[in-house]
Amino acid sequence: MSDDSFDEAVKFISETTCMKASDEQKLTFYKYYKQATVGDCNTPKPGMLDFKNKAKWESWNSMRGTSKEEARRAYVDFLNKIQPNWRNMNKSIWIDMKLY
């Protein structure tokens, strides 16, 4: 998979407004993105009452050991699974993917 496909998918997710992603889907995109761009989780685990950041940390940390290339591929594959025609959609109607 090319870096261009990953970059296009990231752009699509960051600019889309036509579909609503569940929190679980947002966390899936988050963990693939962080693993693809940073690698293994390198931040301390948030406190037990910091629910939002703890969920994000746990999701990303679950990818430990996955290569950046595998994570890029998984990101694009996941988008293809939940929005198969994303490449053909009008860019002006792409989704709001803000986590929480």
User: Per residue in 70-79, pLDDT tens?
Assistant: 999 999 999 9
H/E run at residue 15: helix 3-15
Asked whether the beta carbons of 69 and 37 are under 8 A apart, the reply is no
Domain boundaries, the chain: 3-93
Q: Which range has the worst mean pLDDT, 6-10, 17-21, 30-34, 52-56?
A: 17-21
**Residue 99 near residue 17 (C-beta atoms within 8 A):** no
Q: Average pLDDT for residues 3-13, to the nearest whole number?
A: 91
pTM of the model: 0.84
Take residue 52 and report the two structure tokens written for it: 């939002």
| Strongest mean pLDDT among 19-23, 27-31, 95-99 | 27-31
Q: Which helix (H) or strand (E) holds 28?
A: helix 23-37
Q: Give tens-digit pLDDT for 23-34.
A: 999 999 999 999
Using the predicted structure, report yes or no on whether residue 2 has a pLDDT greater than 80.
no
Side chain identity at residue 15, one-letter code = E
Please tell me the CATH code under which domain 3-93 is placed: 1.20.80.10
